[in-house]
Amino acid sequence: VGPGAYGAMPKLPDGTQLIGVGKPEFSSFYVNSDSITLDGFLFHWAGAQGASDTHNVFTADGTVGFSVINSEFRGSPDNNGMARGRGLRITTTCMNSLVEGCNFNTWARGAGVNGRGVTFRGNEITNIRSDGLNTGVGEDYLIALNYFHDFALV
């Protein structure tokens, strides 16, 4: 996928591998297909005004084999300068998820991961207003080599 702003990501069929060149941008995604890989994207949400701190714009739900690598999840502050929403949400019905080499910045919460077999490795989480990473119902988590820094009221 070449450079450009594409709006909301369309539904992806099972087995889709998307590789971005020049950080193509999507404003939202809801992935519920299996064996999906997203590599090299900017996931940018600019709709913070009026949203809750746990608003999910980028969600994987009910997937087996969801991977997002080498990508940036960028939020936006609202009119009062407060970051809102959550950078990425992986639900309890997901299995074998990988989040690696990603940057999460300018959110109320960086990421929320659940499910079975989640690997969250080598990511940078910065300019987050509250929680950098939430975990919930799940098992077999590997959370390693992440860099959490510069939490602030953004």
The pLDDT tens digits for 5-46 are: 999 999 999 999 999 999 999 999 999 999 999 999 999 998
SS3 128: strand
Residue-level pLDDT at 76: 87
> Does an H or E element contain 103, and which?
strand 103-107
Torsion sign across C-alpha atoms 9, 101, 84, 35: positive
Q: 129 or 50: whose pLDDT is higher?
A: 129
What type of residue is 98? L
Average pLDDT, the chain: 94
Half-sphere exposure of 107 (CA within 13 A, CB side): 33
Please determine, for residue 153, whether its predicted confidence score (pLDDT) is greater than 70: no
Banded model confidence at residue 154, pLDDT cuts 50, 70, 90: low
In sequence order, which residues have a C-beta less than 8 Å from that of residue 26 and are 6 or more positions away?
6, 7, 8, 9, 41, 42, 43, 44
For 46, the 3-state DSSP assignment is: coil
The predicted model scores a pTM of: 0.95
Q: How many percent of the chain have pLDDT more than 90?
A: 82
Secondary structure (3-state) at 123: coil
According to DSSP, residue 79 is labeled: T
CB atoms within 10 A of CB 77: 19
